[in-house]
Structure 1
Amino acid sequence: MATKFLLVTLLITSSILAITDAQSVGVCYGKVGSGLPSDRDVVTLYRNNGITKMRIYGPDQGVLQALKGTNIELILDVPNDNLQSLNDQGRANTWVRDNIQRYPDVKFKYIAVGNEVNPNNDNRRFVNFVLPAMRNIHNALRAAGLNNKIKVSTATYTGLLSKTFPPNDGAFDNNVRGFIEPIIRFLAQNNLPMLANIYPYFGYLNDPNSNLPYALFTAPGTVVNDNGRQYSNLFSAMLDAHYAAQARLGGENVEIVVSESGWPSAGGRAATIGNAGTYYRNLIAHVKGTKGTPRKPGRSIETYLFAMFDENNKPGADTEKHFGVFSPNQQSKYQLKF
């Protein structure tokens, strides 16, 4: 009887873990727009749609208050402009106290220390501050007894790679290696994940073959055969290029969390409601299927859609204003099932 009870318990536990693992889709909550709902209404919208993970781009007190008592897991960013101040351990301790410990009823999961810092563009001024800030935030979490619950990382992106094709040849730009390698080794040593923003839309724009089905997960079969690893979608190929690039710098076993991925509905080539809806639906189905990638088969792909709302005040290309899966009036643009 005891053996039977143990087997039943293990089966139930395995099923719960499988369900939990499959629910791996979150949505980023950006606020660079006018006419957006209140933070409390946004949190209600997340809950009503079964969205259990959120990313916000700084310690927004209104959002943190609204998240109290919910089961929504959170990626909280340290904005790039704050990185230098957190090179001081005392200030990092204060940051954790004010923005983490003050909210014991919020389910913090990751701290993204900087977003898309790149030695090759205007963000180069932050390069020397990222790793020291990561270390200090990690130390502060450990001192608070939270380092086993909340993981420190930084959000990278495909722009740091000089080579993405074929995926197994993925490599960081030579000018990036001095910046990213110590970060990767820090993550590996502390069993922390890498966050990466993966956008097949931009990969499609830069693809001389302009293979739209490959980018939208609608290709009928293998598009790229990389020494036996077969790719039918660009998302997996880009993610594996990141894994390959990491492996070259000591990060073979550093898990990647996809901290942003999306498709615009207007403002540029192939940016339509139809294509965006197809991308988001197929991305959700792909990552919830937990099939992993050809390089990392069977590994779950925790993924955050970008973004909750269209943000009409975003700078840059017009497409940047049209990544929302909801309109500011809280109407779903694509009727996604989370």
Structure 2
Amino acid sequence: MTLLCFLPWPDREMVQYTKKPGAQSTGVCYGTLADNLPSAPEVVQLCQRRGIDKMRIFDPKPETLEALRGSGIRLILGVPNVNLQALASTPNAATDWVKSNVVTYASDVDIWCIAVGNEVSPINGATSQFAQYVLPAMQNIQSALVAAGLGQIKVSTASSAELLGSSYPPSQGAFSDGASSFIDPIIGFLVNNNSTFLANVYPYFAHIGDPVNVQLSYALFTSPGVVVHDGQYGYQNLFDAMVDAFYAALEKAGGTALDIVISESGWPSDGGVAATMENAKTYYTNLVYHVMRGTPKRPEKALDTYLFALFDENQKPGPESERHFGLFFPNEVPKY
């Protein structure tokens, strides 16, 4: 198989000559649901060679955090959903978690944000049992950070578009009635603590869910012109439309002041409809250089974006496509 030659991050030795401005806003999600990945130190070295200076991890594995010491990589540190109930139950549980997973490493690991839970939704049967614990866990983690002198670390949770009851046109974006009682207090917490809204944005799933009305070119940033007209705004790609729907929903819920960070976005290279190497290359390439431009609703406001994912994860559950989102093969060779 001939490998495609594009990678968003050039070798560090070439950064000063070739790194485009858009690459400065992109990081990677480092998932580990696989049995064939490089060691954590090797992964960190790979990121340093490629000039990748932002990373999201989904649980506080000591070997990963140890490897990140002194790396200069800015980190979003995840709290797995299965830990939410314990952290919400008592402040002491959160204090112990922060001591073990944040204080231990904070002097030489750049922990920027704690993502307390991932894609929890009160209307999703797979995660609804965790919904009642997200906000109290966030509150307890925030209090523990402040007590430890680390109040500068942001506390948030990663949300999916499933929380939106309306997203078309983007100006009509709003959280659903079933999700509002869950997400509105979280938005209030984020505003009060000067935090940020983490959004997982996947045009891929929108396209395969409705390929007739959501054209592939609109999902891949390759439409030749405006596809959706929304008042003064025109949308040529679905990513912008999805992000602006989140902005509109936040405004309606009292979160106008919040910035959005794209905590996940990606495209699979195999295992499903439209999941090809060429489509994945096109999506990642265009995404990396698009996010510096902002969206029609907030032009010129760069979006920090974390590409999902660093590697294919051969033990990830779900459809086959879930195991093919990697930017690199397990042997560290870039796919694209």
TM-score between both structures, scaled by the size of structure 2: 0.91
| 2:137 corresponds to 1:133 | yes
Give the Å deviation of 1:20: 8.8
Q: Aligned partner of 2:268: which letter?
A: P
Give the Å deviation of 1:209: 2.0
Q: Which residue of 278, 281, 286 corresponds with 2:285? A: 281
Unaligned runs of 5+ in 2: 1-19
User: C-alpha separation between the residues in 1 aligned to 2:127 and 2:156?
Assistant: 17
1:264/1:323 contact within 8 Å kept: yes
Q: Aligned partner of 2:289: which letter?
A: A
Q: Which residue of 308, 314, 318 corresponds with 2:310? A: 308
2:21/2:289 contact within 8 Å kept: no
Counterpart mapping for 1:170-209 below 5 A: 170-207=173-210, 208-209=212-213
Aligned equivalent of 1:4: none
User: C-alpha separation between the residues in 1 aligned to 2:319 and 2:54?
Assistant: 27
Q: Aligned partner of 2:274: which letter?
A: A
Counterpart mapping for 1:167-246 below 5 A: 167-207=170-210, 208-246=212-250
| 2:86 corresponds to 1:85 | yes
Q: Aligned partner of 2:43: which letter?
A: V
Deviations 1:160-195 (A, max 9, x none): 112111001111111110000000011111111011
TM-score between both structures, scaled by the size of structure 1: 0.90
User: C-alpha separation between the residues in 2 aligned to 1:147 and 1:218?
Assistant: 42
User: C-alpha separation between the residues in 1 aligned to 2:49 and 2:238?
Assistant: 31
User: C-alpha separation between the residues in 2 aligned to 1:331 and 1:56?
Assistant: 21
User: C-alpha separation between the residues in 2 aligned to 1:328 and 1:161?
Assistant: 35
User: C-alpha separation between the residues in 2 aligned to 1:110 and 1:328?
Assistant: 27
| 2:4 corresponds to 1:27 | no
CA-atom RMSD, angstroms? 1.3
Give the Å deviation of 1:324: 0.3
User: C-alpha separation between the residues in 2 aligned to 1:61 and 1:22?
Assistant: 28
Give the Å deviation of 1:159: 1.1
The change in CA–CA distance for 1:89 and 1:21 in structure 2 (over 3 A counts) is farther
Q: Aligned partner of 1:165: which letter?
A: Y
Counterpart mapping for 1:46-195 below 5 A: 46-87=47-88, 88-103=90-105, 104-121=107-124, 122-148=126-152, 150-195=153-198
| 2:261 corresponds to 1:257 | yes
User: C-alpha separation between the residues in 2 aligned to 1:210 and 1:57?
Assistant: 30
Q: Any idea what SS the aligned residue of 2:330 has? A: coil
Deviations 1:246-267 (A, max 9, x none): 1111111111110000000011
User: C-alpha separation between the residues in 2 aligned to 1:139 and 1:177?
Assistant: 24
Deviations 1:256-288 (A, max 9, x none): 11000000001111100000000001000101x
Give the Å deviation of 1:322: 0.3
Q: Aligned partner of 1:273: which letter?
A: M
1:22/1:300 contact within 8 Å kept: no
2:23/2:289 contact within 8 Å kept: no
2:115/2:157 contact within 8 Å kept: yes
Give the Å deviation of 1:210: 3.7
Q: Any idea what SS the aligned residue of 2:288 has? A: helix
User: C-alpha separation between the residues in 1 aligned to 2:110 and 2:193?
Assistant: 21
Aligned equivalent of 2:298: 296
Give the Å deviation of 1:96: 0.7
| 2:272 corresponds to 1:271 | no
User: C-alpha separation between the residues in 2 aligned to 1:124 and 1:78?
Assistant: 16
Q: Aligned partner of 1:134: which letter?
A: M
User: C-alpha separation between the residues in 1 aligned to 2:151 and 2:305?
Assistant: 22
- Count of aligned residue pairs for this structure pair: 313
User: C-alpha separation between the residues in 2 aligned to 1:96 and 1:209?
Assistant: 46
Unaligned runs of 5+ in 1: 1-18
